[in-house]
């Protein structure tokens, strides 16, 4: 897997991604403490609103921004987005009102909605070999999982000697390092199509239309809903499971979340071999079949299990959910690559970025509101039903015989830059 790092261009971009992710992890911890300072017991409402603002920026602005910057060179777009993110992170220590959190979050996440799809769509252009690209996807998944495990621990260690406001400086440094690495990297240039530019609406909706026409991408759209169900349960309700249901100490919250991350990492490490043997469809649909069952098991923890038995069952289920999520998330970009060409790729990756985050606008509130009103068991069952619906859509949409890479691309039928 690490052999892909021999490619100098990818190696520098991967380093930029890892450091920026570490900075984002520090931001998550510091933002929670800032919200508590400003709102006290209402900090949860503040963070919930900030999370909603983040998702709205991802869902509403990502396609529009991609359409606006489509003809610009990738390097200045990536550097500019990183500098905006660094500037917004630098503003956070000086915030004194909760509404300021929402404004800064919106601008920062709008810059992330610019950076992330552009970055992701660049990697297939750098790594044209399918095996290398699969290794890069596994490394990227590992980077996200390591960030979830390492950043909170690093933040806790830093907080023993620094105030939480200083953590924002780590976020600023991460984004600046990312901008520097992009600046010193020679990026491949995507040739701009000749002819008049299509309308903004045509370009902003192109990715979603390609998704709708490609059966495998329609399946991926349903799989996004499957992934959003357990992710919402774990991020929103793990603390309630640990403290209120199982009566465990605060330190066990980190252990439970770590099990989710470890399950994901194990699959990411073995993904290249598994995908070579079984293919995308079998691997991803297996994860879609497992997730509803594991969510039903999470409901059983609250309904049936004793605290001691429930604790070990919870750790097992969280590891299974992490692994099942990773079977879907790790290879998903391979479908996007195969269904696009150099011109449509930014639009397709942006559509996935936007549509996948739209699923969380549904599952986050369900996990929180149903859990608060009816109990965690019912929240897990509702999310299991959501996952079953997504799984059924994925199984029905994905053809058993997939076209060869590149055949599914809608670009020959849907010109990106030419007016009709």
Q: Are 291 and 231 in contact (CB under 8 A)?
A: no
Model pLDDT, residue 195? 47
Asked if the structure places residue 29 within a domain, the reply is yes
Task: State pLDDT tens for residues 345-388.
Answer: 888 888 888 888 889 888 888 888 888 788 889 999 999 999 99
268 and 360 assigned to the same domain: yes
314 and 224 assigned to the same domain: yes
CATH number for the domain harbouring residue 395: 1.20.1250.20
Model pLDDT, residue 180? 95
Q: Are 344 and 414 in contact (CB under 8 A)?
A: yes
Which token pair is 3? 């052999």
162 and 259 assigned to the same domain: no
Model pLDDT, residue 418? 40
Which token pair is 402? 């997939």
Model pLDDT, residue 404? 47
234 and 248 assigned to the same domain: yes
343 and 284 assigned to the same domain: yes
Asked if the structure places residue 411 within a domain, the reply is no
Model pLDDT, residue 410? 41
Asked if the structure places residue 65 within a domain, the reply is yes
Where the chain has pLDDT below 50, the residues are 194-195, 404-420
Asked if the structure places residue 316 within a domain, the reply is yes
Which token pair is 6? 């021999």
> Comparing C-alpha atoms, which of 1, 252, 259, 292 is closest to residue 145?
259
Task: State pLDDT tens for residues 217-268.
Answer: 999 999 999 999 999 888 878 877 887 888 887 668 778 888 888 898 899 8
Alpha-carbon span 133 to 147, nearest angstrom: 21
Rg (the chain; Cα; Å) = 21
Asked if the structure places residue 62 within a domain, the reply is yes
What is the three-class DSSP state of 161? coil
Q: Which range marks the domain in which residue 90 is found?
A: 1-192
Asked if the structure places residue 392 within a domain, the reply is yes
Domain count, the chain: 2
Alpha-carbon span 420 to 411, nearest angstrom: 14
216 and 359 assigned to the same domain: yes
Q: What is the value of pTM for the model shown?
A: 0.76
> Comparing C-alpha atoms, which of 407, 354, 330, 55 is closest to residue 208?
354
Model pLDDT, residue 412? 38
């Amino acid at each position: 897997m690490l052999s892909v790092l021999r490619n100098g261009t990818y190696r520098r971009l991967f380093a930029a991604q890892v450091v920026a992710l570490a900075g984002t992890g520090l931001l998550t911890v510091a933002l929670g403490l800032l919200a508590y300072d400003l709102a006290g017991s209402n900090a949860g409402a503040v963070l919930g609103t900030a999370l909603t603002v983040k998702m709205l920026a991802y869902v509403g602005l990502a396609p529009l921004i991609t359409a606006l910057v489509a003809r610009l060179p990738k390097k200045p777009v990536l550097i500019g987005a990183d500098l905006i993110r660094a500037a917004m992170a630098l503003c956070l220590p000086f915030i004194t009102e909760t509404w300021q959190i929402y404004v800064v979050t919106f601008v920062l996440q709008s810059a992330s909605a610019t950076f992330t799809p552009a970055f992701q769509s660049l990697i297939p252009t750098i790594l044209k070999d399918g095996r290398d690209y699969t290794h890069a996807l596994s490394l990227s998944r590992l980077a996200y999982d390591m960030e979830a495990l390492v950043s909170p621990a690093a933040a806790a260690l830093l907080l023993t000697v620094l105030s939480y406001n200083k953590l924002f400086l780590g976020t600023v440094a991460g984004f600046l390092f990312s901008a520097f690495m992009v600046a010193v990297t020679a990026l491949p240039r995507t040739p701009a199509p000749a002819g008049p530019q299509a309308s903004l609406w045509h370009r902003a909706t192109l990715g979603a239309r390609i998704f709708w026409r490609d059966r495998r991408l329609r399946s991926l759209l349903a799989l996004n809903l499957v992934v959003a169900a357990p992710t919402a349960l774990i991020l929103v309700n793990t603390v309630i499971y640990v403290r209120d249901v199982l009566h465990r100490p605060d330190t066990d919250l980190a252990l439970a979340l770590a099990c989710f991350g470890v399950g994901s990492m194990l699959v990411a490490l073995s993904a290249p071999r598994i995908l070579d043997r079984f293919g995308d469809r079998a691997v991803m649909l297996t994860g879609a079949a497992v997730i509803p069952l594991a969510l039903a098991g999470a409901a059983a923890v609250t309904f049936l299990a004793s605290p001691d038995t429930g604790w070990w069952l919870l750790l097992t289920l969280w590891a299974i959910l992490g692994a099942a999520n990773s079977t879907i998330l790790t290879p998903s970009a391979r479908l996007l690559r195969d269904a696009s060409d150099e011109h449509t790729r930014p639009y397709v990756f942006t559509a996935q970025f936007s549509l996948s985050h739209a699923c969380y606008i549904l599952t986050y509130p369900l996990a929180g509101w149903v859990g608060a009103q009816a109990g965690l068991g019912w929240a897990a069952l509702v999310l299991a039903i959501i996952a079953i619906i997504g799984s059924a859509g994925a199984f029905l949409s994905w053809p058993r015989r997939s076209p060869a890479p590149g055949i599914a691309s809608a670009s020959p039928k849907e010109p990106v830059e030419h007016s009709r």
